[in-house]
Each structure stands twice: as C-alpha cells, then as structure tokens.
Structure 1
Amino acid sequence: MARKPKTQSHIDPAIVAEELLQFIEQLEGCAQEKKGIAEREKEILAEMKGRGYDTKAAKTLVKLRAADPEKVAEEETILELYKNAVGM
C-alpha cells in the first residue's frame, strides 16, 4: 500500500510544487552524473583491454579494495577450503 505524502493545511501548494520540482531536478542531475561516470568507466576499461589487461580481474580488484579486509580474508579462506575439497 502506497504511503500518502504528509500534508499540512497551512502549506502553500505552489511552494510544495516548487520544492518537489527542485528535488526531481536534483535526482535528474544525479542520474546524468551516474551516466557520465558509467561512460568514463567504460572508457577506462576499453583502454585497459587495449593495453592487454584483463578487465574482469581489474573489476574484481576494485571490489576487493573497497571491501572489508576481514570479510575478504574469510571469503578467500572458504574458497580455498572448497577448492581443496573438490581436488583443485
């Protein structure tokens, strides 16, 4: 069930509409920024690939560097355990 926006009888609807429009425009700006960032990431990955780097490994490194080191160590330990269990 959708929540109804909170309203107060003393608020001018024109002010609410203007504020809402400002929020929408900010969200649109964020969407444009994300699109620009995504394009830049594609450019960087294309350049890496062109120079012979493995882009999948690079993406994995980015995720690992952003992750909690303890969590990464735990996941690596479990992966090694599983690999050993299946003879790898």
Structure 2
Amino acid sequence: MTDDITDTSQTVAAGQLRAFVERIERMNEEAKAIGDDKKEIYAEAKGTGFDTKAIKQLIRLRRMDPAARQEEESILDLYKAALGMV
C-alpha cells in the first residue's frame, strides 16, 4: 500500500516537473523570437541612418526612474566637467 502511494506521488511530482520544464522551454522560445524581432527593428533603424547604440541608451534611460536618471546624469556631468570634457 505504501509503495502505491509513493509511486503515485512520484508520478504526480514527475508530471508537475515536466509541466514546469515545458512552460519554461516555451517561454525561452518566445524570448528568442522576441530577441530576433528586436534585432530586426535595430537593423531597420540602422538602415534608416539611426545610431543603434544611442537608441539602446535611450531605451535604458526611459526604463529608469526619473529621479535615478537625473542623479546619474548629474554625476556624469560632474565627472565630465572634472575631466574637462564639457
């Protein structure tokens, strides 16, 4: 009787594990597809004459909290001034 319960528990656990792994694999496939789409957009932007490094920087900055972005920009401006880069 105990062996039946153990076998059932292992079957359920294996099924749950398989479901988790398959969900993660699907998400990985979707992430790869999204990554490929992003590469195409960057290539299109570059072909139009835009600087993709600048676009990536803009995206990073837009994702930031405005106060954190302002602080980072202020520190960078201060350091640039200290090095005579202004």
Does TM, scored on the shorter chain, surpass 0.5?
A: yes
Q: Does 1:76 align with 2:73?
A: yes
Which runs of no fewer than 5 residues in structure 1 stay unpaired? Answer: 1-8
> How big is each residue's C-alpha offset from its partner over 1:16-69, in whole Å with a ceiling of 9 and x where there is no partner?
100100000000001001100100000000000000000000001111111111
1:85 match: 82
Q: 1:4 corresponds to which residue? A: none
The answer on 1:63 being equivalent to 2:60 is: yes
SS in 2 for 1:12: helix
Find the structure with the greater CA-based Rg.
Answer: 2
Percent sequence identity is 47
| Structure-2-length-normalised TM-score | 0.88
TM-score, with structure 1 as normaliser: 0.86
Aligned length: 80
| Structure 2 residues not aligned, in runs of 5+ | 1-5
> Greater helix share, 1 or 2?
2
RMSD: 1.4
In the alignment, which of 20, 27, 34 is matched to residue 30 of structure 1?
27
Measure, in 1, the Cα distance between the counterparts of 2:62 and 2:11.
47
